Each structure stands twice: as C-alpha cells, then as structure tokens.
A and B are shown apart, each in its own frame.
Chain A
Amino acid sequence: MSDGPGRIVDAGSLRKDVDDRPDVCVVGSGAGGAVVAARLAARGLRVTLLEEGGHFPPDQLKMDETWAYPNLYQERGMRATADLAVTLLQGRAVGGGTLVNWTTSFRTPPRVLRHWAQAFGVTGLDEQALEPHFAAVERRLGIQPWPIEAANENNRVLWDGAGKLGWNREVTRRNVTGCQSLGYCGTGCPIGAKNSTDLTYVADAVASGAKVFARARVQRIEKSGRRIVAVHAVGLDPAFRPTSRKVVVRPRLVVLSAGAVGTPEILLRSGYDPNGKVGQRTFLHPVVASLGTFSRPIRPFYGAPQSVACHHFSDRGSGKVSFFLEAAPGHPVLAATSLGGFGAEHQEQMTQLGNSSALIALAVDGFLPEEKGGSVSLRGDGRIRLDYEIRPEVWEALREGNKALARVQLAAGAEVVRSFHESPVVMRREADVALLDRAPWEPLRVSVFSAHAMGGCPMGRDPEKSVVDSRLKVHWLDNVWVVDGSVFPTSLGVNPMETILGLAHWASDHIASAT
C-alpha cells in the first residue's frame, strides 16, 4: 500500500538519479496512461508514471501559438510524415493530447468494435463491455453535449450548412466544466475549464500515492526472458534536451501509453519487434480543410473550436472510404502554415481570416481489407520517422470530403470557398464545386493534416499479425500492456480521446488482476 499523496516531479531538475521499484510503471500520461495510473493507484498499487512532456498547470498556459507548439506538442509542433505531406498535431505534456485537443468526445462506434472482432479476432470488447467504462470516464471528465446555442460562428456554419443540405448533423460532447468559450483549447486551457487528464486522472493518481516524473523520456525497456525488468528514462531540460539525470524504474508490470508514435518507438528502440508488426498499421484520419469566406465576421479563433459534427458520410458503401466533417480553429500560425499558395495569393487569404470559416473533412482509414496504413520506424540517426502513403481510395474520400465542405459553406452563405491546394480551387457557387474533381489530389499539392495518430501496436488474436491481444497485453511479453491509441487495428471514424479513455478504464481491471 502507498502512504499518502504522491507528487509530480520534474525529472530534468532532479538532484540525483532515481532507482525506483514500484508495482507498476506507466509510460505516458495522456488519455490512456493517466486512467490506468489512477485506477491502479486507487487499488493501492504503487504506481510510477513517466511523462516525456512538461507539467503545465492552467496558469502557466498561454493563449499563444508560438509558445504552445514548441512546449506542448511533439517535435515542437513540427511533427509530420517524412515527406512532410501530412502534418501531425500530437501533444507532449502531462495530460498528453488531452491537454491540447479540441475536447471532442465520442464513444467508439459499435460497428467499429464489430469490425475489430470480425477482421482481427478481437474478443470481449463490445458495446456492452465498454458501457460502464465510458459512463465512468464521462462522469470524471464532465463529458456533456455542447448546446448549439453555445456554438461559435464557425461551428454554426457547419450546423446551418449541413441542415440546409438535409445531412445528419449533431452537436458534440465536450469534456469541459465552466468553459468560457475562449477558443484556445489547442494551446492548453488557461482557466482549467478543460478536464484534461492532467487535472483529472493524473491528479487522482497522485492523490492515491502515484509518483509522476515529468520531462522523463523513456529510452528503452530492458527484458529478461518474457518479462520487462526495467524501464530506463532520462531527464529532459526545458528545451527537451537530455540531461545527465537517469530515472530507472524496476516494476512488476509495465503499461506503455506513449501514443501511436511513442509506444512503437519505445519497443523498436528496445529491439522488441519479433513479428515485424511493431510500428505497422498506423492510421491518421487524414484531413483536408476548406476556407469559406463570408461577408460577416466568423472569428474562427474564438469560441469552442469543435462542437458540431456531421457523420452523414460515415457509410459510403463497400470499397469506399468514409469521412466525417468537423470544424477547426483558425489561429494565425495554424492557418498560415496550412493555406495554399504563396505571396499575394496567400496574403489575400490571410486577410480574410476573421470573416472565414475553417472546416475539415476527416477520412476514416484502415477499413479496406487491402489497407495497411503507414509505419513508424527508426532512422539511422536515431530519430523516429513516420511514413504514410495516402491510398487512392483515401484520396477519393478526401476529395469528396472537400466537396462536402464546400457545399456546406456555400449553403451557409459563404461568398467564396477555397480549397487548401497549392493552387487553391476557388468556388463561388454550387456548380463550382465540381472544380475540385479536376484539382490535383497528390502529396504536397494539397495540405493534409492529422490530429489523430492511431495504430502501430495493433490488437488482434493472431500473434503473427498483431502486437497486443484482446486484453491489450503484448503477445510475446508476460508483464507488458499497451494502453493508448496505438492498439487500434483501424482508425475509428470519430475523435479518439474517449475511446482511449474508455479502453484504459476497461483494461485497468484485468491489468490489476494480473498483479
């Protein structure tokens, strides 16, 4: 049993090395790791939580992109596929992605769980099994629908446009309490209204005695037979450079929750990839965006950034990739680095920012039988690399998704709609939407993004074809579980945070039973 509350320690400023022998070592404090740490600590297990990112309480968070991207995001906000064709937004902090995501909370669609059972032999993971776990995380995170009356103008465009077109639309649920609609979820909520895991499950874990090391980067895990016997981490300075400070954790159980890039990275660095599946089946929900300019202010930089979704195209039939529509915040750096063109053409679009709506279409990748997704691997110089080649079927979905966005914005009254191509497609009326059919749908000719990295340690029954089993234990190791978005064998078709929270809550029970 632990005695009294634990604490959060900055591993980069430790005065001496740490050699720690808890029951459980959890790597990563986002939607997966925080929940497992809290639940295991609540059972009286001694838990040590390692987090590569820094610890930023709300009053340290600034509504400033130039501060937030370098401090709160992976690779200082510059993470992307190796060819830069897909930009990847991924959090790095105590709280992981939940500190910087846009608060959109969906339970896993049951058809996705059924597909995992049918195509990958996943057992015991269905709607009924997960229901109480979703209910629990929804309570803890205050997940509630965000009324349409509270939507910002940008989300209102999606709501109104989809409504005029007769498409299914819904308000999303958000994990906030006392939200003031500032619009800066992506740079970390400065008033603590977002119930990110740093303020909820990490705090719970600490209250139950867990030790948290922030700025502790796991370099490798050490094996003896079929068991991990040590987790080796190094402290990081505020610029994320390694210090000489070592944190060695020798737990009975290890839970890897470092995300769809970080967890494969740790296994690969440690040399544990016996079946060649670690870092495979990476899915991204590839995203295209549309800028619709109105004759009135939209102010896409203010207000809850995502509160309306359109899942009208979530089943496009066999052989087609589905997509769904949401909104995105329009802050200057995010907009400027995403918009197409350069010079006067780019400036012209930037001057319209305040009157513009930024909507996104997310392709639901990973469901075609032939789809293998991207990969995470190690470079010769030791850095990780992410590869993702967009398949023709996904390009088709992105094109149709872009057309749907243009229709929505035009139906909602946009005067002009532009695609995010390097030569932006300009549309002023419904008939112009067909111009998108002739636009180039190729890497680096149109901006493609992802905020949802998934896969890389896919779950499945066959140890030859997957990394973890249906209970998230690594097939070839006896005391290691993976609890994060990397276990998804496909993408989801919804924003992944709540699926990860719910899976983690569910998995905690059988991880605990293994202790």
Chain B
Amino acid sequence: MFRRNRYRRERILLPHEREGRRSFLKYGLAGAALLAVGGGTWLGTRRTASSPVLPGPFAALSPEEATIFLSLSERLLPPRPGFPSPLDVDLPRRIDGLLALMDDEARKEVRQLVRLFENALAGLLLDGQWKTFTASTAEQQDARIRAWQQSRYRVRRTGYRALKKIVYSSYYGARETWAAIGYPGPPPIGAPIDRSERFVPGTITEGGLPGPLGAPPPSPEVKP
C-alpha cells in the first residue's frame, strides 16, 4: 500500500493507527513502551475517577475520557478574568459533539490518545511522573502537557497537537468566550445580492430558472 513513499521509514502516526505500529517501533524502546501501555493494558491499578460535576451521558466519550478532557481543558484554559471556565461553556459536551462527527476510526484514535495521555505508566516511563494526569497537581499537569508539546518524539507532539486543537476549537467556538477575546461576532448583513439580474441563481429546482444568463458587471461595488 505504501510501496513508493520514500519517507516511509520516518513516517509517524497517531498511536494505534493500524499500520502504524511498525513505524512506531522504529523509535526504539520508549516508543515501544508507549505503544504497549496504550494498547489496552490500561494500567489497571491507576484508574480515572469520573468527575462528579460532569453532565453526562456522552455520545462519543466514556465518563472517564470526558473527565480527562475536562482536566486537560482546565490547564489549557486556566482561570483568567473574563474567560468563562471550561465547564461554564459545557466544554466536555462540546468536545463530545466534535468527536461524534468524526469517522469511527478517527474517533477511536482520539479516545486512545486521551487515555494514553492520562496513563500513569506512560508518564512514569517518559516523564518520571507516576500519577495519572487527572490525579496530578496543576504544576504536574502543566509539566505533562509540556513534555508532550516539546517531546523529541514527533508522535507525542502529534498527540499534543490533536488534543490542543480539539480543546481550543471546541472552546472558542462557544459564543460565551468571544467577549474575552474582543470578537464581536458576525456583523449585520445588508440586503442579499440580487443575482437574478446577472446570474442564474444557485438554487435550481424543477421549476426552472427565473433569470437570463449574462456577464457580470465590469467592476465590484466597493464599500470602503
């Protein structure tokens, strides 16, 4: 399937992409260990306590996964005057909604990723932290995030990028956050362009066409 790619040996994937394991193993012992702990042995002695404040149930996430996302969100978006908290904007549910839109394989990868991020053994092996992410202090959590952000392993930076994008796109998509960043929202719009004079309208039904074809006018109407 990938016979011609000359970068094949450098190819790095999200954890647990099906064909990715070989590439992952090429990153050596640490990569292999990371893979092993992520691959289902969910370090049974260190479980995630679901947050009691979470308004479940969720469509795509387990309560534990939603808890991990909430914890992560609280560090990516620490308390700051004017900024609603992640729970204020119902962030876990927004993230759940985003994941629900993904195709099954992508969603599975994200769920594995967030569990790997939480994982105590992976933290111990790679960062010297033996606690799960959710059970760590804020300082330890920031250190864990930074370890992924700055990792020498590209796959961990990939994981960080995925989690960051999910959290920030869900948070800043919420109108309640816009005041904090000085975004007034969409402007009022004037009258829609009457295309019937110059163009065949875009909505075509069996009823036919109201307007003739024609060239557009010579210059745009400018509103400085």
Contacts and interface: CB of A to CB of B under 8 A. Distances in A.
Contact of B75 (A83, A147, A331, A343): A343
Interface string B75-90: 1111010110000000
Interface in B193-224: 193, 195, 198-206, 208-209, 213, 215-224
Contacts, number: 225
Given A58-B202, A76-B102, A332-B173, A443 B154 contact: yes
A87 to B, nearest CB: 8
Given A199-B195, A337-B165, A342 B145 contact: yes
A295 interface: no
A368 interface: no
Nearest to A146: B220
A388 B102 CA distance: 22
A337 B190 contact: no
Interface stretch (B39-47, B127-135, B175-183): B175-183
Interface stretch (B1-9, B51-59, B62-70, B114-122): B1-9
B216 A177 contact: yes
A204 B214 CA distance: 10
B103 to A, nearest CB: 7
Contacts of A4: 208
A372 B6 CA distance: 9
Interface stretch (A186-194, A471-479, A507-515): A186-194
A178 B183 CA distance: 25
Contacts of B162: 84
Interface in A251-284: 276, 280
A64 interface: yes
* List of 3 A-B pairs having minimum Cβ-Cβ separation, nearest first: A354-B182, A142-B216, A63-B186
Interface of B: 1-7, 10-14, 17-19, 75-78, 80, 82-83, 101-103, 105-106, 142, 145, 149-150, 154-155, 157-158, 160-162, 164-165, 168-169, 171-173, 177-178, 180-183, 186-187, 189-193, 195, 198-206, 208-209, 213, 215-224
Interface of A: 4-8, 55, 57-59, 63-66, 69-70, 76, 78, 82-85, 139-142, 144, 146-147, 149-150, 174, 176-184, 190-193, 195, 198-200, 202-204, 206-207, 239, 276, 280, 301-302, 331-333, 335-337, 342-344, 346-347, 350-351, 353-355, 372, 375, 377-381, 383, 387, 389, 422-423, 443-445
15 contacts: A5-B208, A7-B206, A140-B215, A142-B220, A147-B224, A177-B220, A190-B192, A191-B189, A191-B192, A203-B201, A204-B200, A276-B4, A344-B78, A377-B1, A380-B18
